[in-house]
Amino acid sequence: MSEQVIKLTKNAAERIKKIMSNAENSAIGVRIGVKSGGCAGMSYIMEYAKEVRSNEEVIDDKGVKVLIDPKAIMYLLGTEMDYKKEKFSSQFVFKNPNETERCGCGESFKV
């Protein structure tokens, strides 16, 4: 695969580094996947990764290791992951070119 499945902005990479600094030592990075649910049909999930699972895409970007669940690759291809901090909230934001619809709260999407 020539194109990286997901790209991180500088803000996202910095936030992941901060999260990882608070993680257990056994965590090697963060895993990103998708699951069914939410008002638009699918939502993003993030968790600590302790090992690389078979067929996972491993991305080293800006000093951060991101593992992509093989079932999520086709949904995430070409996505940019950003981290936005606003007055009352902060969150990871996925700019996904595969989305055809997104719910109003931004928590779920459809491809």
pLDDT at 107: 64
For the chain, the structural domain boundaries read 6-110
- Tokens representing 21 are 């600094």
Residue type, 54: S
User: Is residue 1 scored above 50 in pLDDT?
Assistant: no
DSSP SS3 for 71: coil
**Whose CA is closest to 92, among 52, 43, 27, 53?**
43
Read off the pLDDT of each residue in 87-110 and give the average, rounded to a whole number. 78
pLDDT at 73: 92
For 6-110, which CATH class?
mainly beta
User: Is residue 37 scored above 80 in pLDDT?
Assistant: no
Q: How far apart are the C-alpha atoms of 95 and 76, rounded to whole Å? A: 9
- 47-98 residue pLDDT tens: 999 999 999 999 999 999 999 999 999 989 999 999 999 888 888 989 988 7
